[in-house]
Structure 1
């Protein structure tokens, strides 16, 4: 497998930092990830746990390609409201196109989790997946979620905990260096284990928790590993030669079927008293 130049700028996995020239790449990555069995199981559990009903108002924060807001639209029906919010205007436009093509009533708006453009107590149910790992101020974000949630309303947060990631094969020292670079460059890498505490701090009551060790296939993982190793070389954490050997080892393991790439995702369901 050919490797790109390690000095090449890789994609950002934060939609608010992706320009129009990279949006297609990010969308392709998100679509591949959405097909992972682990992601699908976690999303099914989330919708079952939230149990959105006809006529309710539901919000998906960090709505990305729009699929989960469309799932909300099916549940709330004609008398309800299903909204997705994303900080990237190109992503919002793409979600709108996909919803229109699917005949969905879901609508999408641009905006920040730190300043949700909705009135107090507006939503019956809120879902937020893999956003907290990118947040510099998760407490402020949780306060906004609590603000727009009605009394008795439910919220479900899903996020990865990058301290639980596993990579095989590869020189353990190089794997550690690459992982440390990821942790350093992720604002909130242990977000998964902190979700419960964030919700409790805002006075929300915990109802349930779930987890899934998401197994990544090569198609979904290699863009991430390409970005991680590029940053590790740029930071001086590994040499270019170590980069090449790590990628060669990983490629050989993938070719032989002897590989394991995973990270644990956690979900927390809570309600506002």
Structure 2
């Protein structure tokens, strides 16, 4: 993945073991979100990887969805997870081995896939494009490696839909700035269909899920971290941050806390 902003901890060079641990914890927590699970199930259904096919999972993270692809294509097929982060890739390999999965994992760049033209039947890519400054180029690469008739599914977040409540309008604006500037392409979710069409693919279906944060199990380090960053950037004062956290804590205690963001998925195929 080329030239992500320094705030993107998914950059391949960011291999600190402590950082890897935080990434894995975040990915596992996200995987447990009901909205993520529903959208992933929809995406696998649309991708419809079949026995004997060749499938690729770009930016596979912990490899959980590569394992799903491996089960679908069976012993006669191939399921490859592409992951540039060495810590995540090592974890994906270990988890696949422990599960007895045939999933394979490779180092590689979404902007220069290490595969020949028209090599694959199915490609999925989840929450990668938001970390790229040139997502259209990455989608063109996905299209390049698909055979005629091959299918692709892209899933990504649209951080402009981020909501944290309760917070005053001014504070909401500051928090939105922090969240959106943490991604190279914060509105990636809404761009998926356009990038696929631009790469010569035909869009077949679109889906979305609002990812809700359970007020009974708030990830407070994440929430507080946004406030800390807003103070560091001079967007809010320490007093405003403290008032925000007090209000959010009180809201969570009475079940009135709200944190959400919308994630989109688009299924397409290569004509021919």
**Offset at 1:12?**
5.0
Which residue pairs with 2:10 in the alignment?
A: 14
Which residue pairs with 2:243 in the alignment?
A: 245
Q: TM-score, normalised by structure 1?
A: 0.92
Partner of residue 264 from structure 2, selected from 263, 266, 271: 266
Deviation track 1:213-239 (CA, whole Å, cap 9, x = no partner) reads 111235564343233222211111111
**Contact in 2 for aligned 1:29/1:220 (Cα 8 Å):** no
SS at match of 1:157: strand
Q: Residues 150-169 of structure 1 correspond to what in structure 2 (within 5 A)?
A: 150-169=147-166
In the alignment, structure 1 residue 64 sits paired with structure 2 residue 23 = no
Gaps of 5+ in 2: 1-6
Which residue pairs with 2:24 in the alignment?
A: 27
Looking at structure 2, the residues matched to 50 and 82 of structure 1 have their Cα atoms a distance apart, in angstroms, of 13
Deviation track 1:76-131 (CA, whole Å, cap 9, x = no partner) reads 00000011011101110000000000000001111110111111111100001111
SS at match of 1:96: helix
**Offset at 1:240?**
1.4
**Contact in 1 for aligned 2:157/2:261 (Cα 8 Å):** yes
**Offset at 1:248?**
1.6
Looking at structure 2, the residues matched to 175 and 214 of structure 1 have their Cα atoms a distance apart, in angstroms, of 18
**Contact in 2 for aligned 1:23/1:91 (Cα 8 Å):** yes
Looking at structure 1, the residues matched to 112 and 175 of structure 2 have their Cα atoms a distance apart, in angstroms, of 34
Looking at structure 1, the residues matched to 117 and 220 of structure 2 have their Cα atoms a distance apart, in angstroms, of 42
Q: TM-score, normalised by structure 2?
A: 0.92
Q: 1:15 to 1:231 in 2, by over 3 A?
A: same
Partner of residue 224 from structure 2, selected from 223, 226, 245: 226
**Contact in 2 for aligned 1:132/1:188 (Cα 8 Å):** yes
Looking at structure 1, the residues matched to 231 and 172 of structure 2 have their Cα atoms a distance apart, in angstroms, of 12
Which residue pairs with 1:203 in the alignment?
A: 200
RMSD, aligned α-carbons: 1.6
Q: 1:100 to 1:87 in 2, by over 3 A?
A: same
**Contact in 1 for aligned 2:15/2:86 (Cα 8 Å):** no
Q: 1:187 to 1:73 in 2, by over 3 A?
A: same
- For these two proteins, the number of residue pairs brought into alignment is 263
In the alignment, structure 1 residue 192 sits paired with structure 2 residue 189 = yes
**Offset at 1:36?**
0.7
